Amino acid sequence: MKEITSRQWFLLIGAILLILLAPLFLKTVQIRILNEVIYFSLFAVSFNLLFGYAGLLSCGHAAYFGIGAYTTAILLKRLVGMPVPLAILTSGIAAAVGGVIIGFFCVRRKASYFVLLTMAFNQLVWALAWKWRSMTGGDDGIGGFVPKSMSLGIVTLDLSNGGMVYCLSAVIVMFFLFLIWHLLKTPFGNTIRAIKVNEDRPEFLGYNVNFSKLLLFTMAAFFAGIAGSLYALFQDFVATSSIDLAMATQVIMMAILGGTGSFLGPVLGAGIFVYFTDWISHLTDRWEFILGALFIILVLYFHRGAIGLIPKKLKSIFVSAKNQ
């Protein structure tokens, strides 16, 4: 794995500044779309931790996104005055707890069984959100829970301002992306890559493969939960659509769209997905059909993702941490 060169550092810092200062020169509508890209980026990267790095195709990753979103909504609605950062963190932890329990059953099984189980448990979480009316509001969902402002010691952020929410999300997502990126450079990251190539060899070498998979599964759930929490803060409304199979498919689509073979591929994919969906849903009512058809075409012909289409030279900027 290569170290980051000074030129790449320069580009990175430039990009971060550009992302954070975007509200100064973009319209509110554009900021809203960018905000969606931000939290979906974390969601897609957390999914790719499983699929791209460990080869674990989770068809139920929306469960943790949904748990995070619902936890934030319920906490802020019921415990008025709860600090927002604490709610975000708790949402991540709640999703991680869900991840440990569900992961315990899933990681012991390989390939198709794993997929089947993740999907089945996704349906369970969805059913819980749908049936447990007193807690989740059923199919009405929960809305209007985001407080007007939040205080961070000295500064007070105005949460009714879209730009503020955007900046908060951007800072949190970038922090976690850095964290994940560093996580992948640790020996644990190498264990995961080894598991993708061959599950038996690391086992023979004395690694506890199932434990590593469970740990990764839990982490991925945690990050998805954080993303879900940011989604809830942004929408100020949470419904079962944040957990359903369509959401679980969307995140797969984002990852494949951008390319599962690189760290930032899913970020690119989330961007393409959000902008494309926004564009197509203005053009036609049948946009979900087009999305589905696009998904099929993607799997048939472009499963290496958009990042595979970027010329090599440009790519070296994008792909600093290869995962293969």
Binding site for another protein (CB under 8 A): 51, 55, 57, 59, 105, 108-113, 115-117, 119-121, 123-124, 127-128, 131-132, 244-246, 249, 252, 256, 286, 288-289, 291-293, 295-296, 299-300, 303
Is the Cβ of residue 20 or residue 272 nearer to another protein in the bound state? 272
User: CB of residue 129 vs another protein: minimum separation in angstroms?
Assistant: 12
User: CB of residue 55 vs another protein: minimum separation in angstroms?
Assistant: 8
Distance, CA of 44 to CA of 24 (rounded, Å): 27
The two most distant CA atoms of the chain are separated, in Å, by 56
**Taking each helix axis from N to C terminus, what angle separates 62-78 and 84-106, rounded to the nearest 10 degrees?**
140
User: CB of residue 146 vs another protein: minimum separation in angstroms?
Assistant: 29
Is the Cβ of residue 13 or residue 124 nearer to another protein in the bound state? 124
Is the Cβ of residue 51 or residue 217 nearer to another protein in the bound state? 51
**DSSP-assigned letter for residue 49:** I
Measuring CA to CA, how many Å separate 270 from each of 22, 246, 254, 287?
18, 15, 5, 17
Is the Cβ of residue 165 or residue 213 nearer to another protein in the bound state? 213
User: CB of residue 131 vs another protein: minimum separation in angstroms?
Assistant: 6
Contacts of 320 (CB under 8 A, 6+ apart): 2, 4, 8, 263
Tokens representing 324?
A: 């293969």
Distance, CA of 202 to CA of 129 (rounded, Å): 38
User: CB of residue 193 vs another protein: minimum separation in angstroms?
Assistant: 17
Distance, CA of 299 to CA of 285 (rounded, Å): 24
Contact call for residues 224 and 266 (beta carbons, < 8 A) = no
Is the Cβ of residue 181 or residue 295 nearer to another protein in the bound state? 295
User: CB of residue 75 vs another protein: minimum separation in angstroms?
Assistant: 23
Nearest to 202 by CA among 188, 182, 215: 188
Nearest to 51 by CA among 259, 242, 222: 259
User: CB of residue 132 vs another protein: minimum separation in angstroms?
Assistant: 8
Is the Cβ of residue 122 or residue 229 nearer to another protein in the bound state? 122
Contacts of 220 (CB under 8 A, 6+ apart): 46, 47, 49, 50, 58, 61, 64, 99
Is the Cβ of residue 92 or residue 98 nearer to another protein in the bound state? 98
Is the Cβ of residue 10 or residue 132 nearer to another protein in the bound state? 132
Distance, CA of 216 to CA of 222 (rounded, Å): 10
User: CB of residue 112 vs another protein: minimum separation in angstroms?
Assistant: 5
